[in-house]
């Protein structure tokens, strides 16, 4: 029998009360250590939700330090050329609330930032986000409302950074997955060429 949780009270009764440290660790301004973390992080997950509640989580990555600190309560994330779906960006236009999770490879803790986002198509500081000669397509400016560090338990349980647990070949190649799942008109050979060595050389164009 499935037993569903339907109230905050039930949830709290099941999980218990958070400790003082967990309950009070969030802040609203960047600490110097936060700035150092952002300077070392090459990867971020951006969570958004549309006006109708439809959710999206999008990975963003660039050389370490790609998240530009504008001031103690504001950061900006550059957007590079992609698949043009813009799911998260369309959500932001309807609902500015975002959640960010910044990772540092090998670290088992993470930096979480929640706030309100807006889309900017150009600004003088775009010049500070140039990579390999390319300026961002746009930028997501996030006004920080909540920032805190998240503990290591999820990474320790998953053994994410332990190479002996990695199984990159557990599924077929990206090209074969697309061919089998999405059934595009391109041949498998064409897809393999597209996602071959040349793919990595064109990620900023």
pLDDT at site 98: 98
Q: What is the 3-state secondary structure (H, E, C) of 151-176?
A: CCHHHHHHCCCCHHHCCCCCCCCHHH
Q: What is the pTM of this model?
A: 0.94
pLDDT at site 180: 96
- Minimal CA–CA distance to 37: which of 109, 99, 97, 98? 109
CB 142 within 8 A of CB 100: yes
pLDDT at site 9: 95
pLDDT at site 20: 84
pLDDT averaged over 10-residue windows placed end to end, the chain, 205 residues: 95 90 90 98 98 96 98 97 93 98 98 98 97 96 98 97 96 96 95 92 90
Q: How many residues does the chain have?
A: 205
pLDDT at site 205: 86
Sign of CA dihedral 132, 133, 137, 143: positive
Question: Which phi and psi angles does 12 have, rounded to 5°?
Answer: -65, -40
């Amino acid at each position: 029998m499935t037993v569903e949780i339907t109230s905050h009270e039930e949830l709290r009764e099941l999980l218990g009360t958070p400790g003082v440290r967990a309950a009070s660790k969030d802040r609203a301004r960047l600490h110097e250590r936060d700035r150092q973390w952002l300077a070392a992080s090459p990867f971020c997950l951006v969570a958004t939700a549309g006006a109708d509640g439809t959710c999206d989580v999008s990975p963003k990555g660039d050389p370490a330090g790609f998240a530009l600190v504008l001031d103690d309560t504001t950061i900006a994330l550059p957007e590079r050329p992609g698949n043009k779906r813009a799911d998260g960006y369309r959500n932001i236009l309807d609902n500015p609330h975002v959640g960010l999770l910044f990772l540092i490879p090998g670290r088992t803790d993470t930096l979480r930032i929640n706030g309100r986002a807006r889309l900017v198509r150009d600004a003088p500081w775009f010049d500070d986000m140039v990579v390999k000669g390319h300026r961002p397509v746009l930028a997501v400016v996030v006004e920080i409302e909540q920032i805190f560090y998240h503990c290591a338990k999820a990474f320790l349980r998953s053994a994410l950074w332990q190479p002996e647990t990695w199984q990159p070949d557990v599924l077929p190649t990206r090209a074969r997955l697309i061919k089998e799942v999405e059934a595009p008109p391109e041949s498998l050979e064409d897809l393999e060429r597209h996602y071959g060595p040349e793919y990595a050389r064109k990620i900023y164009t």
